[in-house]
Amino acid sequence: MNILEVKNLNMSYKTIDGEVEAVKDVSFTVKEGESFGIVGESGCGKTSVAMSLLQLQADNGKITNGEIIFDGTNIVGLSESELREVRWSGISIVFQGAMNSWNPVVKIGEQIREAMREHYPDKTKEENTTKILELFGIVGLDSSVIDRFPHELSGGMKQRAVIALALSCDPKLIIADEPTTALDVVIQDQILNEIRKVQEVLGLSLIYISHDIAVIAEMTDNMAVMYAGRIVERGPTKEIFANPRHSYTKSLLESTPSVVGDKVKLKSLEGEPPSLINKESGCSFAPRCPYREDSCNPSLDMELVEIGTDHYVDICSAGKS
């Protein structure tokens, strides 16, 4: 059962300097209970994808094309009030830098209850509080946190509280956008364990977004690699790690230092991601591609081609051979 199907999603932002195409022709599916990862460097469009899923993009962003089918319904084009019902009780999100997700003048418990009040208007305060305490148990927070203000908590505690907040309305799908980037490694490990535990216990689907490929490897069943707004490779995580086909994916995996073995000079990618303002068709990675051959023609159209079970690669017509 597919909980989420994204088909040909296109989103762009209007800026002073022009129209920025942040998401180009992105398609993927997430099954119930599955954990799906999206990896890519900063600015590749992964956060924009996350925002579009909840229609939370900034005022100057617009979905120009595509469908997002959540639990059978296309949520692109829904009215604001219909969207508000989907938000949080259908899909919830843990933001990057979630520490700032809290309103500094309102208590934590009240902020969580507020979400619950919106989606479960008939529950009493006691029922809500009991549920919050349950959630705190799952994420590992003390019950006293309910009456605390955000500035009284440490970074890790705030992060756990955000996860509890995301779970508060029993969503079917959670999006985690780099939830551990701002934390130290020890806490990062704890939080990742919490998320995995939560997912198993509650049977949720998870979309995990990160630029850290190691975390993706650990956390996800299926994944997609994004570059310059497009998905360049998509498939089961194990398969992609064993058999990367796109040059970008290969470069990404190669640049991860290995803890074992001899000390080698780090391989890195030269150059910068292309500007997303000028719509260029064709291979956007060609300028930086270290595997470029003479037969490579960057202006040819790209499409996703299946090369293994469920394993898709973004390839130009020349590369199909």
Of 47 and 247, which CB lies nearer to another protein in the complex structure? Answer: 47
* Using rule CB under 8 A, residue 301 touches another protein: no
Of 96 and 205, which CB lies nearer to another protein in the complex structure? Answer: 96
Residue 236 to residue 225: CA distance in whole angstroms: 11
Name which position in 54, 161, 283, 289 contacts another protein (CB under 8 A): 54
* Using rule CB under 8 A, residue 115 touches another protein: yes
* Using rule CB under 8 A, residue 246 touches another protein: no
Q: Give the orientation angle of helix 125-139 with respect to helix 108-119, to 10 degrees.
A: 120
Torsion angles phi and psi, residue 21, rounded to 5: -90, 100
* Using rule CB under 8 A, residue 107 touches another protein: no
- Minimum distance of another protein from residue 16's CB (angstroms): 8
Residue 129, exposed/middle/buried by CB under 10 A (0-12, 13-18, 19+)?
middle
Interacting residues of 254 by C-beta distance below 8 A, sequence separation 6+: 267
* Using rule CB under 8 A, residue 47 touches another protein: no
Name which position in 75, 93, 108, 176 contacts another protein (CB under 8 A): 93
Name which position in 64, 73, 100, 154 contacts another protein (CB under 8 A): 100
Name which position in 8, 73, 74, 106 contacts another protein (CB under 8 A): 106
* Using rule CB under 8 A, residue 183 touches another protein: no
- Nearest alpha-carbon partner for 234 in 37, 24, 9: 37
- Minimum distance of another protein from residue 86's CB (angstroms): 8
Residue 205 to residue 93: CA distance in whole angstroms: 12
Name which position in 32, 41, 67, 114 contacts another protein (CB under 8 A): 114
Name which position in 62, 84, 211, 292 contacts another protein (CB under 8 A): 84
Q: What are the DSSP calls for 215-266, one per residue?
A: HHHHH-SEEEEEETTEEEEEEEHHHHHHS--SHHHHHHHHTSPPSSSS--PP
Of 89 and 251, which CB lies nearer to another protein in the complex structure? Answer: 89
Structure tokens at 11: 């989103």
Q: How many residues belong to the site for another protein (CB under 8 A)?
A: 34
- Minimum distance of another protein from residue 320's CB (angstroms): 41
* Using rule CB under 8 A, residue 59 touches another protein: yes
93 within 8 A of 174, measured Cβ to Cβ: yes
Q: What are the DSSP calls for 256-304, one per residue?
A: SPPSSSS--PPP---S-PPPSSS---S-SSGGG-TT--TT--TTS-EEE
Of 3 and 116, which CB lies nearer to another protein in the complex structure? Answer: 116
Site for another protein in 136-165 (CB under 8 A): 165
> In the Cβ-directed half-sphere of 25, how many Cα atoms lie within 13 Å?
14
DSSP structural state of residue 320: T
Residue 145 to residue 159: CA distance in whole angstroms: 12
Q: Of the listed pieces 85-93, 215-223, 261-269, 276-284, which binds another protein according to CB under 8 A?
A: 85-93
Q: Of the listed pieces 63-71, 105-113, 262-270, 309-317, which binds another protein according to CB under 8 A?
A: 105-113
* Using rule CB under 8 A, residue 125 touches another protein: yes
Residue 197 to residue 195: CA distance in whole angstroms: 5
Q: Give the orientation angle of helix 108-119 with respect to helix 155-167, to 10 degrees.
A: 10
- Minimum distance of another protein from residue 286's CB (angstroms): 32
Residues of this chain that bind another protein (CB under 8 A): 15-16, 54, 56, 59-60, 80, 83-89, 92-93, 95, 97, 100-106, 113-115, 117-119, 124-125, 165
